[in-house]
Amino acid sequence: MRVAIALVAMLLLAGCASGKHTVSTVTVPVSVTHPPGPQAAGYFGQIVSLTPAGGKRYLLVLRPQFYLLGVTANTAFARQQGKKCEPLSCPGVEDDHLVVPAGNQRLTFVLPAATTGTVLALEAGHGMRTLKVSAAQLAALVGGAKHPRLVEPLLSGVWLEVDFDRVTSFAQQFQP
């Protein structure tokens, strides 16, 4: 190790003594790190409340639920019914999905007023369609507003896209 350091020192001194100087620039990418874990995440559940929080934001409280599909849904449903089956041979669940509570904890998120999302609305002559709404319109619907007329209540569940604690989008889930 001392030999390597001495060799590097001699080469540096030799370069300086020759009268020729070489400058090289090395660009090293720098990454910004966030705390461990996902910054963006998706959540599913029922909106418990949506209240103004001063400024241009709301506080959205969600009762989280698991939206299960496939083998996961089939085995969970069999367990709920007290039935035993091999996971790959459990009978399929109705409507190909199962929604189960994800505990009793309520999750609180910040919903910026500028955030938009979708609800499932009934439109005369068109039937059901996905309608883009603002955070304020969602708050009004949670509060009991009758317009736009929804295909089903928001109790059917909503999907939230969240960046840390901030909702970036929302979408009502259709439950046949």
Q: Count the residues in the chain.
A: 176
pLDDT of 9-58, one tens digit each? 444 444 544 555 555 444 444 444 445 555 678 999 999 999 999 889 99
Greater confidence, 142 or 28? 142
Mean pLDDT value across the chain: 84
Q: Enumerate the domain spans of the chain.
A: 41-66+106-172
Q: Look up residue 168 and give its two tokens.
A: 């970036």
> What does the pLDDT read at residue 80?
94
106, 60 Cβ separation under 8 angstroms: no
Q: Is the pTM of this model over 0.85?
A: no
Q: Look up residue 124 and give its two tokens.
A: 């005369």
> What does the pLDDT read at residue 93?
94
Is residue 118's pLDDT more than 50?
yes
Mean pLDDT over 121-131 rounds to 87
> What does the pLDDT read at residue 125?
79
Give the burial string for 122-151 (b: 16+ CB within 10 Å, else e).
eeeeeeeeebebebebbbbbbeeeeebebb
> What does the pLDDT read at residue 40?
77
Mean pLDDT over 157-164 rounds to 96
